[in-house]
Amino acid sequence: MTGRHRVSGRSESRGVADRGAAKRAYTAVVLVAVAALIAGLGIWAGRSEEPEASGDALPDNAASGKVPTGPCAPSDTLVPACGAWWGAYVPYAGNGSLKDAVLGFEKRIGRKLDLVYNYHDMSGTELDGQLLTPDEQELGRDRLLMLAWESTVWTEPHHENWTETQLGWKNIASGKYDEEILDPQIRRIKAYGKRVFVSFDQETDARIKEGAGTPEEFVAAYRHLRDRFRELGADNVVWVWTVSGYLGSADEMKALYPGDEYVDWIAMDQYNYYQCHNTTDWKDFLRSQQPSYAWLRENISDDKPVMLAEFATAPDADNPTRQRDWYTRIPADVKKLPEVKALVHWNRPTSDKAACDLTVNDGPGLDGYREAGKNGYFHQPVPSR
């Protein structure tokens, strides 16, 4: 998440106001759960598990029509042949519904998203720790899903204040949490049947200083997780490896790569933060993305598709049309980054400062984003399987 984005090597903190008694009650429950988990008491053991899919059958909520065919049909790893996916991360609506939030966002931007990106912790709770929630499954009927799975337990609902407890990469790699945490969620994905993107501990280079572990431990954890999916027969996952793209972490990013045989897509989260971080440097879309894109291609993989797993621009209060123009230039500029096959907008402010509002919910930003989304390059046939 963007709470881990770095500026000059520093992580940005983005606390927000307390949500009151309901949030405190949730926090108490989660902290007790964490304590029980660490003590090895198996607090998730009593949770009911989803039934596995029988044969080749898909649940009703996983199918939405015929599989695309022809020259523009996507590959087995969901690489679109004739353009790029147009996606977004949209925070939950005030009523707690992801579906309502996404549908409202789509109404504003004048189109359906190809890809919906959502985040989960490893608490096992129904609110945030259950992969493929009912809303996700319904949205996934005619959209792709991207699930970011974090090896942490969040302190408050939907990671509101960005605080969490690390479970530790070495513990994931050792299999300590397989039976009680990983396996039930893997079985849910297997039962879903439809292909989904999964990103394990995205922006992983920023997590080292947060205490998640060493690069070697991350590689072991990532490989263990993918191997565990294979062992349980959940072969409907497309694996995304996501780093911040901050080139000050170049050595760490190289050390964190699990290897081509474990990764289907490589991804980065780069922004034009402008005055959000007290600078005067306005980076247009291409300049905000091209350096890290080129580095990934040269140093990580020159044949994997690239995803802009989070991207956005801050506004310029002195020149509002700049934000509109930043987005309208994307269809032309992204073709200069030919291996970028998915663009996922981060539609959430990074703080309560106006200069850090990265959303495109209204104004020039919305105008530009709407215009970019009309381009045929971002209208690819979305598979239903």
Task: Determine the Cα–Cα distance for residues 153 and 335; give it in Å rounded to an integer.
Answer: 39
Phi, psi of 373 (to 5 degrees): -70, -15
Which residue has tokens 């408050």? 156
Q: What are the start-end ranges of the E strands in the chain?
A: 6-7, 10-11, 85-89, 115-120, 144-149, 152-154, 164-166, 196-200, 237-243, 265-269, 306-311, 340-346
Residues 6+ apart with CB under 8 A from 92: 98, 101, 158
Closest Cα partner for 311 from 334, 338, 287, 344?
344
User: Which of 136, 203, 217, 371 is the catalytic position?
Assistant: 203
User: Which of 180, 310, 339, 371 is the catalytic position?
Assistant: 310
Task: Determine the Cα–Cα distance for residues 237 and 268; give it in Å rounded to an integer.
Answer: 19
Cα 214–Cα 218–Cα 223 angle in degrees, nearest 5:
150
Do 169 and 357 contact (CB within 8 A), yes or no? no
Do 116 and 130 contact (CB within 8 A), yes or no? no
Do 332 and 374 contact (CB within 8 A), yes or no? no
Do 88 and 117 contact (CB within 8 A), yes or no? yes
> What are 221's two structure tokens?
């954890």
CA dihedral of residues 257, 155, 98, 47 (deg, nearest 10)? 90
Task: Determine the Cα–Cα distance for residues 128 and 124; give it in Å rounded to an integer.
Answer: 7
Known catalytic membership, residue 203: yes
Cα distance from N-terminal residue to C-terminal residue, the chain? 28
Query: Number of C-alpha atoms within 13 angstroms, CB side, residue 133?
Result: 22
Known catalytic membership, residue 106: no
Residues 6+ apart with CB under 8 A from 13: 3, 162
Q: Annotated catalytic sites, by residue? A: 203, 310
